[in-house]
Amino acid sequence: MAKITKLDDIVSLCKRRGFIFQSSEIYGGLASCYDYGPLGVELKNNVKRAWWKNVVQMRDDVVGLDCSILMHPMVWKASGHADKFADLIAECKKCNVRTRVDHLAEKDAEHAEEHTEHVAIDSVQAAAHDLSRKLCPSCGTVGRFTEPMPFKLMFETQMGANVDDSMTMQLRPETAQGIFANFRNVLDTTRVKIPFGIAQIGKSFRNEVTTKAFIFRTREFEQAELEFFCEPGTDEQWFEHWKEARFNWYLDLGISKENLRFREHDPDELAHYAKGCVDVEYLFPFGSGDWQELEGIANRTDYDLRQHQRGMRTLNRWFENGRDVNRVTLADEAEDYQSGPLSYFNDEQKRRYIPYVIEPSAGIDRSALAFLVDAYDEEEVRGETRNLLRFNPAIAPIKAAVFPLVKKDGMPEIARNIYDDLKKYFNCFYDEKGAVGRRYRRQDEAGTPFCITVDGQTLEDKTVTVRQRDSMEQVRVSTDQLKGHLREKLDM
């Protein structure tokens, strides 16, 4: 039976305990932008670390990369984003608020079936849309919308100070293209052989029409993406491999099985580059419970590398058209594209081909929200409500808190020494303020797996109590075995 957690409880805990704040709050806040506070940044870094460990560090066939956010405008022309990355929107004629057409609910429906993240401009233009029974989510008017129109999602900015050579650039809407653009560099400078992957974690930006639910859908967010290059014909097997690997990653980090599922994309909702796609979905507590995408796993075929080969052939036209990608048409594909500059040479088979790509693409902020929701719990303890985050130790912001029972008899000094020693190995917290019960509760709410207390007995036999967050059980451990005890329990 799935636990019922309300999003409001999570938002309020995040604010109260310094996980997540509204951006620019001192000026009234900036919609859909969030800042990670002291506990939040530790959580987010741990999610990224856990992803990197699983996808890069523990594998022999994946290398990492960190690309710039600003890229040559031809990247977006070739990838298809410049022409196709848009949402279909309609404007309410009464209140002038624009809404994504796929987010509009029918008059009596509870909410719209939100599945696709985005759509290709050409596919949405072709489809007919009956909005006569659709409800404006802003003012409640039914069926008074303009004709649907595409709305481009990439943020623009100006690069360069001089009028003559400044140009309009886009902030990347996905990290993936930086990987494709460096495919040749990685091949030429490392010993990778197909099958292999290139992984990257970084910020992406989308001028989303509808933002949603706290950090679930924002305009600035972080992605963790892997482009796994394989021989055509082996792509379906690798697709299955990554489906299983990615699903298990969430389970291994503590997400409950009943809150996680796969959802295959219908052919008409596939992104312009994909042959197949499956989402890992999480049962988020929006409304009365809402299965929503956590991560997409796509078979991108050889689309991107082929497109970039065309882009490379097109470069001169970009100069000729005043460096305006909107006026450039991509060069036709060369007949010998399989041996083009982004092809791969297989030494043993003595043949060249453009590799296929399997892409698991996760949202770091969305995963952090799912980990928060899944870990959140409330229970009655001796007539009081205990709020706690049952985080897996790998993602817990603080691994151990150290307390002196009272601020006298040398207990603070011993506790400080323990803290100074442990913090060399993992993130720790020292607290000597207030009743020890309250200090435990504060750490429960932060999701800290272990609390160590120095008490009267420590002065006699050099043991401390180690309290486990979930069971609240306490054991005595001698101070010289404490580090080993915790490292074993924390698996670090």
Contact 227, 342 (CB under 8 A): no
CB of 252 to ligand GAP, least distance (A): 18
When binding is defined by CB under 6 A, the residue of 51, 85, 183, 221 that contacts ligand GAP is 221
Quickly list DSSP for 390-432.
Answer: ---TTT-S-SEEEEESSS-TTHHHHHHHHHHHHTTTS-EEE--
**44 belongs to the binding site for ligand GAP (CB under 6 A):** no
CB of 376 to ligand GAP, least distance (A): 20
CB of 255 to ligand GAP, least distance (A): 14
Q: Which of residues 348-377 bind ligand GAP (CB under 6 A)?
A: 359, 361-363, 365-366
- Closest CB to ligand GAP among 77 and 313? 77
What SS3 state is found at 71?
coil
Beta carbons within 8 Å of 337's beta carbon, 6+ residues apart: 306, 309, 343, 354
- Closest CB to ligand GAP among 175 and 314? 175
Quickly list DSSP for 207-264.
Answer: --SS-BTTTTB-SEEEEEEEEEEE-TTSHHHHHHHHHHHHHHHHHHTT--GGGEEEEE
Q: Which amino acid is at 316?
A: N
- Closest CB to ligand GAP among 250 and 403? 250
When binding is defined by CB under 6 A, the residue of 208, 304, 431, 455 that contacts ligand GAP is 208
CB of 359 to ligand GAP, least distance (A): 6
Contact 5, 373 (CB under 8 A): yes
CB of 32 to ligand GAP, least distance (A): 8
- Closest CB to ligand GAP among 34 and 353? 34
- Closest CB to ligand GAP among 298 and 411? 298
**217 belongs to the binding site for ligand GAP (CB under 6 A):** yes
**Pick from 318, 254, 272: which is nearest to 79 by CA?**
272
Chain residue whose CB lies nearest ligand GAP: 363
Site string for ligand GAP, 167-196 (x = CB under 6 A): -------x-x--------------------
Beta carbons within 8 Å of 139's beta carbon, 6+ residues apart: 92, 94, 95, 97
**Pick from 109, 103, 308: which is nearest to 211 by CA?**
103
Number of residues that bind ligand GAP (CB under 6 A): 20
Q: Which of residues 107-136 bind ligand GAP (CB under 6 A)?
A: 117
CB of 300 to ligand GAP, least distance (A): 8
Q: Residue 61: left if φ>0, alpha if ψ -120 to 50, beta else—which one?
A: alpha
> Is the Cα dihedral 65, 70, 75, 77 positive or negative?
positive
**Pick from 369, 432, 488: which is nearest to 47 by CA?**
369
Residue that has been written with the tokens 């917290």 in this structure: 429
- Closest CB to ligand GAP among 101 and 274? 274
As given in the structure block, the two tokens for residue 173 are 């809407």
CB of 141 to ligand GAP, least distance (A): 27
- Closest CB to ligand GAP among 72 and 272? 272
Contact 225, 64 (CB under 8 A): no
When binding is defined by CB under 6 A, the residue of 200, 218, 392, 465 that contacts ligand GAP is 218
When binding is defined by CB under 6 A, the residue of 5, 200, 223, 314 that contacts ligand GAP is 223
- Closest CB to ligand GAP among 32 and 463? 32
- Closest CB to ligand GAP among 172 and 467? 172
Q: Which of residues 268-297 bind ligand GAP (CB under 6 A)?
A: 293-296
> Is the Cα dihedral 166, 172, 175, 179 positive or negative?
negative
Residues that bind ligand GAP (CB under 6 A): 117, 174, 176, 206, 208, 217-218, 221, 223, 225, 293-296, 359, 361-363, 365-366
